[in-house]
A and B are shown apart, each in its own frame.
Chain A
Amino acid sequence: MATSIKLNKVVKRYGAVEVIHGIDLAIDPGEFVVFVGPSGCGKSTLLRMIAGLEKITGGDLLIDGERMNDVPASQRGIAMVFQSYALYPHMSVYKNLAFGLETAGYKKAEIDERVQRVARILKIESLLQRRPRALSGGQRQRVAIGRAIVREPKIFLFDEPLSNLDAELRVQMRVEIAKLHQDLGNTMIYVTHDQVEAMTMADKIVVLRDGIVMQAGAPLELYNRPANQFVAGFIGSPKMNFLAARASAGANTIEVAGRNVSLDAALAVRQDEPLTFGVRPEHIAVGGEAGEMLGEVKVQLVEHLGGGTVLYATTAGGENLTISAAGQLRVRHGENVPLRIDPAICHVFDSQGMALRS
């Protein structure tokens, strides 16, 4: 049966420096949760606190309702896959997989049965007698995952497990980990700085910044309704465009790039209040008739990706803008192109960076 995790006002301090600032988070049984954020945001520290590798300075960690703050790592029912894999280089793959079971005092026959079963699941049967140095990056990754699975833990933790792999292998392993979650149904927490990994794998994404949860929710919720400018910029690739804006006459109109853009409904803002207008590159149309006119921009660079075209442009006011269009646009460097947007899927942020909902 899958396991729930709850963090109540969890704090981490190193001396006088507080790096995790009272995080509250609930993870449902069987959920695949991804901690995402830039380097130094505290995502790995938070994971290690759940694992029991870092002491929790304040607050409570509850696993299935039981307080775990002072329970040793090995007794929390957790297995972890490390960024560096942490395979023992002097042991064969078999011995690496069996180490935890031997430590726990399992009988030889049981250990062998479990190791063989995991090897079959991960398709590493032929590698069992090899040493880690004789394995490729992808194979090492499988062994590291195998070492976690073989103990049959309640919770899996992954600390940037794909960051040492090349792009192709990363995509492949991403799919395999997602499949593994479907098959095993365990609660999993996965740390990454790659928002594409987060979007593709997670049931729930937790976006962290400077030890604070900026937003937690389903991937599309974060994409469609970011709570603040940081999440809006972090989720989505290419990242969201931000343009300086101002509350215009009438609460449902704002001035962006020298033009008035009508919103669907009124915002609770003062006249002339400085705002930030956010629009995703894929939500901007080049030419056409639909939506509202955003004005003309000058194309600085064109990237033809085959299935799509990415334009890097500047507005008349000198602001940078990225446009991601489907298909192969016949646009050249230096050309002026008209842009149109659908205000219903655009975003407005106040001067504190908080999203304003109409």
Chain B
Amino acid sequence: MAAILEADDLSFSVRGSTLVRRASLALEEGATTIVVGPNGAGKSTLLKLLTGELSPLQGAVRMDGAALPQIPAWELACRRAVMVQNQRLAFPFSVYEVARLGLEGVGRAQSRARKGEIIAQALETAGVIGLAGRQYQTLSGGEQQRVQFARALCQLEAGRSVAQRQILFLDEPIASLDLCHQLSLLDAARSIAAQGAAVLVVLHDLNLAVTYADRLVVMHEGAIVAQGEPSAILDDNLLRGVFRVSLSFSRLPPAGQPFLLPQQHLTPIQPGGVVPLRAASA
């Protein structure tokens, strides 16, 4: 497997507080990477650095060898799609129009018929094709989230005619979804990875993270404290230190997949508080 994106020693801070410190990771072709960590651990900031929305104060992000700032915005949009947490929309677009926004930048060259195909396919995958004519603002939070997912899928599909090696970034994509749609969205993301793209997802549900991740990245106070194959890196000690909960930690047969059941929370640490942690393992 070859890395599509490589981040090397990224740091970022705003007004003296460090949001990301010395983070390094690689997103590989066909792999789903899941980032977990408590609130304020720097997950979203890391995602912004990886997508080019923010520039790191230190370190660099490279896509297929080219530094991110050197890639023109349009080309970058062909190579990666981003679904952010913000779901607001200023004016009352229909669901169909919101999905079509995914094509405003990268879909210029596509014919009208092809655009229609791409949008229909994306709405279908995200399970919102029945809502196509509805006004976006009248949808529930979960439905809006799926429409945003469809928009990202549109962008990815249109970009594929320009760039084959693509990345899909999803920032807490299932935060408002019911169980069925949580799984169907993550399945869709994984099938995109299966087609050769790299997928990076920020998640809170540790069990889903373990189930879907080829590679798990654990963040704490801006730093990546562990990353690797989920069952290899997760243990009681790490989870207690990072998430401040005691868990009953078991392995499910037959593959020995880790299963976590939270028992009780420990005292939450204040930002900047010091907690003993084991050293980051690359």
Do A and B form a real pair? no
Residues of B within 8 A of A (CB): none
